[in-house]
A and B are shown apart, each in its own frame.
Chain A
Amino acid sequence: MNYKTPANIIIWGTIFLKAVNGVSLKIREGEFVAIMGPSGSGKSTMMNLIGSLDVPTKGKIFLDGEDISTLDESDLAQIRGQKIGFIFQSFNLINNLTAKENVMIPMIFQGYDIDERGFRADELIKLVELTPWAAHSPGELSGGQQQRVAIARALANSPEVVLADEPTGNLDTKTGETVMDFLNGLNKKGKTIVMVTHDPDLAKEYADIVYWLRDGKIEKVTKKTVKRRIK
């Protein structure tokens, strides 16, 4: 894993469902990127492509200089595990595992042994301030807490990019803010974050670059000139 090289993701060509047409974007290390658009704009499809959850029917995706559009599912999974951390709108934790076990799961597939995993998981849970809840199952946690576990999980293998798909979609405003603060904090420390959202205010507030999507095409791109927290 090469932290130094920028994560270049370039997409072009026609993609399945024709959701994203002729889109090409580059994401640099340390950036906080937001992909904005109403429902049906193709932002989820974009997210899936960036996150290598899906492959384009036509066109290429480069990750770390490597063309991943032709890899098979297993290899994609490996790359996902190493380089990308996901945060979903509906948290997507595994219900019959504890919070700590959820955080440890990604590490299993990269071959960490059990002591390392436990140690790292404890650290990450500390990071998201959920240490007293480590042994609880998702069913016993609030929405905000679950999302924080999801963040810890996303960071398990020290990925180059954190992809967040509507991270605050299922949370109330206050909890949502807490979660966004965490993400912002991560970004300040240097983590590349790509967030998909339908909330323009959220996008403008936190992201360095916002790609505005409509009907599968990039309508405009805005950059933040001043990084300022709007209360």
Chain B
Amino acid sequence: MIKDFFYLAFKNLKSRGIRSWLTLLGIFIGVTAVVSLISLGNGLQMAVASQFGISENELITVQAGGLSGFGPPGSIVVDPLTREDANAIERLSSVKNTVLRNIEDGIVEYNNYVNFRYVGTIPENKEDIKLINAQLDAEPLLGRLLKESDLGKVVLGYNFYNKKEEWGDKVIEPGKAILVNNEKFEVIGIVEKKGSIIMDNVVLMLESDADDLFGFGDEADVIIVEPKNKEEIAKTKEDIEKLLRQRRDVDEGEENFEVSTPEAALASVNSILDGVQIFIVIIASISIFIGAIGIINTMITSVMERKKEIGITKSVGARNEHVFLQFFIESSLLGLIGGAVGILFGTLIGFAGIYGINLWLGTELGLNIDFILIFGSLFGSFLIGGIAGIVPAMQAAKQNPVEALRG
């Protein structure tokens, strides 16, 4: 019986021509807006995540306390971390390996063009290099990565090679030399494109070279820690925290350092993005709400116009529930059809947006279809249509057949 109601509803909507279309249009626009915004929001989140370069490895990062967000780690800190801190951490039983990293502002010159770029350090022993390369997930596009003996040499991020317009249209590639803070360095490798603004513009050099240029001595901007057992990363984190509290003579709750897993950092950024996205989606939902009002309007009119028809169906045996269902389904169908088309367009717009993000940020996001979003929206549109139709459908069901037949 329900199937028949769907069929009847469909026929009815078709016969009402332009008014059905207009009602559908309302829901369609609203759903398109919401779906495209959610898709774009997801795309943006993926873009941000890609900037973080989360590798599969579960690594812990330790930073000194300060103001994050105003520069690379370690730029605005009160009490910097040191090499001794790193060594102490490495001696912990739950820790496999630690590596110090420093990130500094470098003045890079090539072909008489000057640009400011971040310089990241690479440690000078094999084990540590392996760890860093794993964390950075760096593969050489040209040439090779740094080895512990590569003093005086640098490996550059993809944009050094790709964006020759920043260097007077001359391409930087392995074999060429650049100046960093007025010291000459030989380029021996270019990293593949990572889609991350930081990684694609970074200069990698060995620690001692960097120390000569920047003089950070024993200070570390960030300490990367590899736990012995990936499953026990939480315990390792605790061990590190306990150790550092002791070394820096601070009490629990008064730490002047931060120990974090990469997921945690990403999670806090994501929560901000989520907040923004929710806000924008709420605004867009207003249009769906208005579209739903359109459905209510259409259905009320429909019930009024079809009074006689309701009388007829009741005279041939339709119970109140049947009449209710028929109109309820009609209204749900309006929502469903409008929503379906809206989802299609919204997803397409989302794709366009991701394409745009890729162009603008240089990321390499894939076009993925969020099935949960699609099914959720379909179900939601159906539901909204239904809810909008409840009152009109109830009105229809309550009609007295004699009155109704009188027209």
Contacts of B314 in A (CB 8 A): 53, 73, 77, 80
- Once the chains are docked, how many angstroms separate the CA of A77 from the CA of B321? 10
Contacts of B218 in A (CB 8 A): none
- Once the chains are docked, how many angstroms separate the CA of A111 from the CA of B260? 64
* Interface window among B124-132, B305-313, B382-390: B305-313
> Are the CB atoms of A81 and B317 closer together than 8 Å?
yes
- Residue B1 at the chain A interface, CB threshold 8 Å: yes
B401 CB to closest chain A CB (Å) equals 5
A161 CB to closest chain B CB (Å) equals 13
Report if A96-B316 is in contact (Cβ < 8 Å); known contacts: A53-B402, A108-B1: no
Q: Sort chain B's interface into a size bin.
A: 20 to 34
Contacts of A92 in B (CB 8 A): 308, 311-312, 315, 405
Report if A109-B317 is in contact (Cβ < 8 Å); known contacts: A96-B12, A96-B15: yes
Q: Which 6 A-B pairs have the closest CB atoms?
A: A81-B317, A106-B316, A74-B319, A96-B15, A109-B317, A74-B320
Contacts of A93 in B (CB 8 A): 312
Report if A74-B321 is in contact (Cβ < 8 Å); known contacts: A48-B402, A88-B405: yes
Report if A157-B402 is in contact (Cβ < 8 Å); known contacts: A96-B12, A96-B15: no
- Once the chains are docked, how many angstroms separate the CA of A88 from the CA of B309? 13
- Residue A100 at the chain B interface, CB threshold 8 Å: no
> Are the CB atoms of B401 and A111 closer together than 8 Å?
no
- Residue A156 at the chain B interface, CB threshold 8 Å: yes
- Residue B251 at the chain A interface, CB threshold 8 Å: no
21 residue pairs of the A-B complex, CB under 8 angstroms, read A54-B400, A54-B401, A74-B320, A77-B314, A77-B317, A77-B318, A77-B401, A78-B319, A80-B315, A80-B317, A81-B318, A86-B316, A92-B315, A93-B312, A96-B12, A96-B14, A96-B15, A97-B8, A109-B1, A109-B313, A153-B316
Contacts of B14 in A (CB 8 A): 96
Contacts of A105 in B (CB 8 A): 313, 316
What is the number of residues of chain A that contact chain B, defined by CB distance less than 8 Å?
A: 30
> Are the CB atoms of B316 and A80 closer together than 8 Å?
yes
Interface string of B1-13 (1 = CB under 8 A from A): 1011000100110
Looking at B3, B316, B401, the one whose CB has the most chain A CB atoms below 10 A away is B316
Report if A108-B405 is in contact (Cβ < 8 Å); known contacts: A74-B320, A81-B317: no
Write the residues of chain A forming the contact surface with B, with a CB cutoff of 8 angstroms. Answer: 48, 51, 53-54, 73-75, 77-78, 80-82, 86, 88, 92-97, 105-106, 108-111, 114, 153, 156-157
Which residues of chain B from 305 to 339 have any CB-CB distance to chain A below 8 Å in the complex?
Answer: 308-309, 311-322
- Once the chains are docked, how many angstroms separate the CA of A100 from the CA of B300? 29
A74 CB to closest chain B CB (Å) equals 4
- The chain A residue with its CB closest to the CB of B12 is A96
B9 CB to closest chain A CB (Å) equals 11
Contacts of B320 in A (CB 8 A): 73-74, 77
Contacts of A51 in B (CB 8 A): 315
Helix, strand, loop or mixed for chain B's interface? Answer: helix
Report if A53-B401 is in contact (Cβ < 8 Å); known contacts: A74-B319, A81-B318, A109-B318: yes
B321 CB to closest chain A CB (Å) equals 6
> Are the CB atoms of A96 and B317 closer together than 8 Å?
no
- Once the chains are docked, how many angstroms separate the CA of A194 from the CA of B282? 61
- Once the chains are docked, how many angstroms separate the CA of A51 from the CA of B312? 13
Contacts of A86 in B (CB 8 A): 315-316
B309 CB to closest chain A CB (Å) equals 6
> Are the CB atoms of A157 and B317 closer together than 8 Å?
yes
B13 CB to closest chain A CB (Å) equals 10
List 10 other contacts, CB 8 Å, given A86-B316, A92-B312. A48-B402, A73-B320, A88-B405, A92-B405, A94-B312, A97-B8, A108-B4, A109-B1, A109-B318, A110-B317
The residue that A54 contacts in the complex, of B12, B308, B402, with Cβ under 8 A, is B402
Contacts of A88 in B (CB 8 A): 405
Contacts of A48 in B (CB 8 A): 402
> Are the CB atoms of B402 and A109 closer together than 8 Å?
no
Contacts of B321 in A (CB 8 A): 74
> Are the CB atoms of A109 and B15 closer together than 8 Å?
no
A98 CB to closest chain B CB (Å) equals 10
- Once the chains are docked, how many angstroms separate the CA of A54 from the CA of B404? 12
A124 CB to closest chain B CB (Å) equals 13
> Are the CB atoms of A109 and B309 closer together than 8 Å?
no
Contacts of B401 in A (CB 8 A): 53-54, 73, 77
Which residues of chain B from 284 to 313 have any CB-CB distance to chain A below 8 Å in the complex?
Answer: 308-309, 311-313
Contacts of B315 in A (CB 8 A): 51, 53, 80, 86, 92
Contacts of A81 in B (CB 8 A): 316-318
- Once the chains are docked, how many angstroms separate the CA of A67 from the CA of B15? 41
Looking at A95, A105, A109, A157, the one whose CB has the most chain B CB atoms below 10 A away is A109
- Once the chains are docked, how many angstroms separate the CA of A157 from the CA of B321? 19
- Once the chains are docked, how many angstroms separate the CA of A53 from the CA of B315? 7
Contacts of A82 in B (CB 8 A): 317
> Are the CB atoms of A106 and B317 closer together than 8 Å?
yes
Report if A109-B316 is in contact (Cβ < 8 Å); known contacts: A53-B401, A53-B402, A92-B405: yes
Report if A96-B11 is in contact (Cβ < 8 Å); known contacts: A53-B402, A105-B313, A108-B4: yes
